[in-house]
């Protein structure tokens, strides 16, 4: 066959878009907007159930591992062997279907359902792939309830012990392993059993670059390193009107000064991004100096050395400020991932498919974390981006035009077809 737009192997765009809409209705909030399917809640179970039903409609072999990752596999021909004479490992595609609170409909879900659309194209054409095609939905990518984020793919890649993940306690006090059992997704397969030959993840950009430059496809070359910390400042509560500034041990001031320092670090580094996403002051009374501040810090940089330098600068600031203000400061590491370079051959294949399909594109860095960065530890991996309107994500206003969603999935199909020798 000459290309993936021929009748023999064609993406069914209307079904992809309809499934995105249907999955987006699960957990929808008619008042606040968006939808909420936080990991291992009843709403996420409903989303999982729907995904498994769609996988089974395509005749995929559905397997669930002990961390709750869902795998749907389109088998290759019986007796197929790779060049070494072994059973061929799968070409894997996927992402996640859990969400943050009041999320958009596309983050993660597009990658899973785009992978399903590729499997559907093979089924509809009656083409048996030269190696298995596996579509995966990883558990707890967002980390909105259980830490760390990207947990399912991290466990799958061997970067986090299974028992430690199962014992994770959520923001609501629930144990992750117990919640998997409760919703019926505590599988029996050992994590990491299905090691991919290659891994591809289709995703919305979640940023403004492609739209701003009028481009259709992002060829993701690398992904930023991520550092998450929780910082606790312990000072002394006292009367806001009678305590002179020089005699204060103000946890609120130290927290605010740290926010300002993080902005200086980001600006002066040129590449580091720094965000304080949550902050809580105690006792939380207008006329009382805060005795305690607890806040989180998210730092990111595509360069490991610069990220390490920014972390060191923050640590030095906290040490000096604690001494100056007479407070105690402690830090807790929540997550730390080094920057990831994606596979050069796969990124070149994505670029070639975008060219072949006549789509405008650029090579780029992902600012967000994705399951692909975990799977890159054990297999060649790469990502495909499509534009996000206004660069908005993790928000009910998250949007990508239908035509852009279909074009991204067509690039994914073209790459898969040619990697499996079905696109020649």
Indicate whether 2 belongs to any domain: no
Average pLDDT value for residue range 230-234:
98
- For the chain, give the percent of residues with pLDDT over 70: 98
The predicted pLDDT at position 126 comes to: 95
Q: Is the pLDDT of residue 82 over 90?
A: no
Within this chain, do residues 165 and 261 fall inside the same structural domain, yes or no? no
The predicted pLDDT at position 335 comes to: 85
Indicate whether 6 belongs to any domain: no
Cα gap 389→400, rounded to integer Å: 6
The predicted pLDDT at position 363 comes to: 98
Torsion of CA 173, 178, 183, 185, to 10 degrees: 130
What is the Cβ-side half-sphere exposure of residue 350, based on CA atoms within 13 angstroms? 30
CATH at 241: 3.30.70.360
Within this chain, do residues 390 and 332 fall inside the same structural domain, yes or no? no
The predicted pLDDT at position 8 comes to: 84
> Which residues make Cβ contacts (< 8 Å) with residue 42, sequence separation at least 6?
183
Confirm or deny that 142 is annotated as ligand binding.
Answer: yes
**Reported confidence tier of residue 423, pLDDT bands at 50, 70, 90:** low
CB 398 within 8 A of CB 392: yes
Indicate whether 66 belongs to any domain: yes
Within this chain, do residues 330 and 345 fall inside the same structural domain, yes or no? no
Closest CA to 138 of 42, 28, 48: 48
Average pLDDT value for residue range 27-56:
97
Within this chain, do residues 205 and 120 fall inside the same structural domain, yes or no? yes
The predicted pLDDT at position 80 comes to: 82
Indicate whether 8 belongs to any domain: no
Longest dimension (CA), the chain: 83
Indicate whether 121 belongs to any domain: yes
Q: Which of 337, 368, 398 is the last residue of a domain?
A: 337
Q: Tens digits of per-residue pLDDT, 110-151?
A: 999 999 999 999 999 999 999 999 999 999 999 999 988 999
The predicted pLDDT at position 5 comes to: 43
Average pLDDT value for residue range 170-180:
98
Indicate whether 3 belongs to any domain: no
Average pLDDT value for residue range 85-102:
95
150-153: long-range contacts, CB 8 A cutoff, minimum separation 24? 150/337, 150/369, 150/370, 150/371, 150/373, 150/374, 151/67, 151/176, 152/67, 152/68, 152/69, 152/96, 152/371, 153/69, 153/371, 153/374, 153/375
CB 149 within 8 A of CB 140: yes
Cα gap 22→24, rounded to integer Å: 5
The predicted pLDDT at position 337 comes to: 87
* Average model confidence (pLDDT) across the chain: 96
Within this chain, do residues 179 and 144 fall inside the same structural domain, yes or no? yes
Indicate whether 4 belongs to any domain: no
Within this chain, do residues 186 and 323 fall inside the same structural domain, yes or no? no
Confirm or deny that 96 is annotated as ligand binding.
Answer: yes
Tell me which residue range forms the domain holding 42: 13-223+339-419
Q: Tens digits of per-residue pLDDT, 398-408?
A: 999 999 999 99
Average pLDDT value for residue range 265-290:
97
Q: Tens digits of per-residue pLDDT, 178-208?
A: 999 999 999 999 999 999 999 999 999 999 9
Confirm or deny that 25 is annotated as ligand binding.
Answer: no
Cα gap 237→241, rounded to integer Å: 12
Indicate whether 136 belongs to any domain: yes
Confirm or deny that 203 is annotated as ligand binding.
Answer: yes
Within this chain, do residues 163 and 285 fall inside the same structural domain, yes or no? no
Q: Which of 337, 355, 388 is the last residue of a domain?
A: 337
Within this chain, do residues 201 and 187 fall inside the same structural domain, yes or no? yes
The predicted pLDDT at position 81 comes to: 81
Within this chain, do residues 244 and 331 fall inside the same structural domain, yes or no? yes
CATH at 204: 3.40.630.10
Q: How many domains does the chain have?
A: 2
Within this chain, do residues 249 and 193 fall inside the same structural domain, yes or no? no
The predicted pLDDT at position 6 comes to: 43
**Reported confidence tier of residue 85, pLDDT bands at 50, 70, 90:** confident
Within this chain, do residues 219 and 328 fall inside the same structural domain, yes or no? no
Q: Is the pLDDT of residue 2 over 50?
A: no
Q: Which of 337, 366, 393 is the last residue of a domain?
A: 337
Within this chain, do residues 123 and 162 fall inside the same structural domain, yes or no? yes
């Amino acid at each position: 066959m000459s290309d993936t737009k021929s009748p023999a192997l064609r993406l069914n765009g209307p079904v992809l878009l309809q499934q995105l809409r249907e999955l987006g209705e699960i957990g929808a909030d008619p008042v606040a907007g968006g939808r909420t399917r936080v990991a291992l809640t009843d709403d996420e179970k409903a989303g999982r159930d729907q995904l498994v039903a769609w996988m089974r409609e395509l005749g995929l072999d559905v397997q669930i591992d002990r961390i709750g990752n869902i795998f749907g596999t389109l088998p290759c021909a019986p007796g197929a062997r790779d060049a070494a004479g072994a059973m061929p490992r799968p070409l894997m595609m996927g992402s996640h279907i859990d969400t943050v609170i009041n999320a958009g409909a596309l983050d993660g879900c597009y990658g899973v359902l785009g992978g399903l659309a590729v499997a559907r194209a093979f089924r509809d054409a009656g083409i048996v792939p030269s190696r298995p095609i596996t579509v995966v939905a990883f558990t707890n990518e967002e980390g909105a309830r259980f830490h760390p984020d990207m947990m399912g793919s991290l466990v799958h890649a061997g970067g986090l012990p299974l028992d430690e993940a199962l014992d994770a306690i959520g923001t609501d006090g629930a144990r992750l392993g117990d919640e998997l059992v409760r919703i019926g997704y505590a599988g029996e397969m050992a994590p990491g059993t299905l090691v991919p030959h290659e891994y591809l993840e289709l995703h919305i950009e979640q940023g403004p670059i492609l739209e701003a430059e009028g481009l259709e496809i992002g060829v993701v070359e690398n992904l930023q390193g991520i550092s998450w910390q929780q910082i606790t400042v312990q000072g002394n509560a006292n009367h806001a009107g009678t305590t002179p500034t020089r005699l204060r041990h103000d946890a609120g001031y130290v927290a605010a000064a740290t926010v300002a320092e993080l902005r200086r670090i980001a600006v002066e580094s040129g590449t580091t991004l720094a965000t304080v996403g949550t902050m809580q002051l105690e006792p939380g009374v207008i006329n009382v100096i805060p005795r305690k501040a607890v806040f989180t810090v998210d730092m990111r940089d595509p360069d490991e050395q610069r990220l390490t330098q920014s972390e060191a600068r923050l640590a030095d600031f906290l040490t000096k400020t604690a001494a100056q203000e007479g407070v105690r400061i402690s830090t807790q590491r929540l997550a730390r991932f080094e920057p990831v370079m994606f596979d050069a051959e796969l990124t070149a294949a994505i670029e070639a498919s975008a060219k072949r399909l006549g789509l405008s594109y650029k090579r780029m860095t992902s600012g967000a974390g994705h399951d692909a960065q975990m799977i890159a530890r054990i297999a060649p991996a790469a990502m495909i981006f499509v534009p996000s309107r206004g660069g908005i994500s993790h928000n009910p206003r998250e949007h990508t035009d239908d035509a852009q969603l279909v074009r991204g999935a067509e690039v994914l199909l073209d790459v898969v077809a040619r990697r499996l020798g079905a696109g020649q």
